[in-house]
Structure 1
Amino acid sequence: MTTRTIERSNAKLWLAAIKPPMYSVAIVPIWVGTAVAFYETSVLDWVIFSVFISSAILILAWENLSNDVFDSETGIDKNKAHSLVNLTGNKSLIFWLANLCLTLGIAGVLAICWWQRDWTILGLILTCCFLGYCYQGPPFRLGYQGLGEFLCFFAFGPVGMSAAYYSQTQTWSSLNLWVSVVVGMATTLILFCSHFHQVDDDLAAGKRSPIVRMGTATGAKLIPIFCGICLGLTAVWVAVGLFPAWTLLSFAGLPAAVELCRHVGTYHDRPDRVSNCKFIAVNFHFWSCLLLGVGFVL
């Protein structure tokens, strides 16, 4: 019985370290950018879409793995049982696995560029990678200065979605840029929510996250604003004819938004209870953005 309990506990730690739900963050910008391209051109290249999705997942895996490595160097993860570095006890292994994921992800992007004889997408994706590295990587470590949310917005919003749109059309779109604001905000909300339960560890490591700077109570009051912007912008842009009416399907994410606001509002100062709020934010992000893209396809 004790052995089985330990095995279940270890399995949960590994799942928490790998964070499978978080990989929707990589998929959504490619999906929505491609959906907007289909809406405007009625053409969709499934091979490029599939390769791009795979590359995005690998690049996000690099970012997650390398962040574990960089955080282990500052001591901020010393109490984080589900850190991959802590679980394996082998920082070098995680570092090289991260680099392997990055290499394979960039290889997929290079394949798309070679097929299209156009290297624009590579430049956009390398920009995303640089923004991701600046978040935790030395000497920048901008996440420790509270700037991670800005980096996240541009990497998963305007820059990432421009790459997805361009991969299908080899042109630019002002509509895609407007849509990327919604996706970027929804993605940034996930990162914002990830800070609530680790205020003490952040303070000890000198990390001035937005929640450390403003406090959990003020941070909780901003959650409804984040959700309101994501859904409100879609409603406004449907009303003015910029978005098709079908994109109102994204309001299917409203129950998750309400749950998130209530949960953080109630438990913002209780790390043991609020630690799962980022996964509620992932749920909101996934359903609202998935159906936003479906609205453009329909």
Structure 2
Amino acid sequence: MSEPQVVASRYASGEPAGGSPAPDRRRLWKAAIKWPMYSVAVMPVLLAAGWWLGQGQALRLDQLLGFLLGAVLLLAWENLANDVFDADTGVDRHGKPHSVVNLTGRRDRVAWIANGALVAGLALIALVALRSNPAVLVLVLACCGIGYAYQGPPLRLGYRGLGEPLCWLAFGPLATAAALLALAPAGALVGVPWGAAIELGSGPALATTLVLFCSHFHQVQEDAAHGKRSPVVRLGTGRAAALVPWFVAGTLAFQWAPVLVGQWPLTALLGGAGLPAGTALIGLLREHHRVPEKIHASKFLALRFQALNGLGLALGLAIGPALAALR
């Protein structure tokens, strides 16, 4: 059994990685905070930063830091609100001991903290928009609306199997367009750069969508019992696992096509840094998709693929012109 499978198996059985008989609260809180997940929040603005550097433009560091912090706060809102809404439906009651609501027993307090993160995040984004373009705030508000529609009543679109396309839309064209506008030098853009946002954001957003897709595999029975018709519930774990190679290939295809036609530098191929994690994920789900205790790690392998892929692409875009000038 590989190391990710061992860790996943121990977690599922209530045994921490160190081998003691039950997970302590510190370990559960670490799982609840989900700090690795914040790579999905910061990736659009890191990609935008790499894109602008590749265009020979200086970074607006105040805008970059403001957008980064705002994005982290907004994802904290989404994660905490998701725990609150899932507590209302009961889907997390038994299968998710690291839910913040389960850990604290205070749904009301978690809801207040979530709403506070939302207000603070939007305030930061509003400041970034004030210093760049009002459309930044409009686009981020659209992302937040999608995030609420995914998990919140009365829509709960994630329970209808629509979470993945919504995830791609929010973390792809919308967030990437907002980030490009926020970091744009004065006068560099007229209107929302939809073309650049779709080209730049489509591949990384597909990798982010893969993280959400893989989060369903180990909880199929719980989701089905509470009416959450995720794509994995609808398809079954076998057919869903067969889609994972297409997620990985699609991510790379979106990113490598502009290289092949000469629009991006060869260094953009650094996005392939995530491929080993993607390959490991494909193998894990192909062999063990029916065994929940062995695939808890699948979401984190998907997250590693997403993070390394996005960082590699951002770096490749940023350094491409500089390396070409040295030839």
Deviates more, 1:228-237 or 1:198-207: 228-237
The alignment status of 1:274 with 2:295, answered yes or no, reads yes
Match of 2:127 among 94, 111, 115: 111
Q: Does the 8 Å contact 1:175/1:242 carry over to 2?
A: no
Per-residue CA distance 1:130-171 (angstroms, 9 max, x = gap): 000011100110000000001100111100000000111262
Deviation (angstroms), 1:243: 1.8
The answer as to 2:103 corresponding to 1:100 is no
Counterpart check, 1:11 vs 2:32: no
Higher helix share: 1
* 2:41 aligned residue: 26
Q: Which residue of 1 aligns with 2:4?
A: none
Q: Which moved more, 1:48-57 or 1:8-17?
A: 8-17
After superposition, give the CA deviation of every residue in 1:241-288 in whole Å (9 maximum; x if it has no partner): 122111001111111011010011111111111111000000000001
The Cα of 1:72 is off from its aligned counterpart by 0.3
Matches within 5 A, 1:140-289: 140-169=155-184, 171=189, 172-173=192-193, 174-289=195-310
CA distance in 2 between counterparts of 1:237 and 1:297 reads 15
What RMSD in Å do the two structures reach over aligned CA positions?
1.5
TM-score of the pair, normalised by structure 1: 0.95
Q: Give the whole-Å Cα distance in 1 for the aligned partners of 2:32 and 2:201.
A: 28
Amino acid at match of 1:191: L
Q: CA deviation at 1:14?
A: 0.8
Deviations 1:41-99 (A, max 9, x none): 51210110001000000000000000000000001011111111000000001000001
Gaps of 5+ in 1: none
Equivalences for 1:123-142 in 2 at 5 Å?
123-142=138-157
Identical aligned residues as a percent: 42
**Residue type of the alignment partner of 2:264:** F
CA distance in 1, matches of 2:254, 2:71: 26
Deviation at 1:184, TM superposition (A): 1.1
Q: TM-score, normalised by structure 2?
A: 0.87
The answer to whether the aligner puts 1:44 opposite 2:65 as a matched pair is no
Tell me the distance in 1 between the aligned counterparts of 2:291 and 2:260.
40
Confirm or deny: 8 A CA contact 2:52 2:318 kept in the other structure.
Answer: no
Structure 1 residues 261 and 200, CA, compared in 2 at 3 Å: closer, same or farther? same
What stretches of structure 1 move > 4 A for 4+ residues in a row? Answer: 4-8
- Partner Cα separation in structure 2 for residue 132 and residue 179 of structure 1: 21
Matched residues in 1 for 2:286 and 2:80: separation?
A: 31
Between stretches 192-201 and 238-247, larger displacement belongs to: 238-247
* 2:151 partner amino acid: Q
> What secondary structure, in the 3-state scheme, does the structure 2 residue paired with 1:165 have?
helix
Aligned-partner residue type, residue 205 of structure 1: H
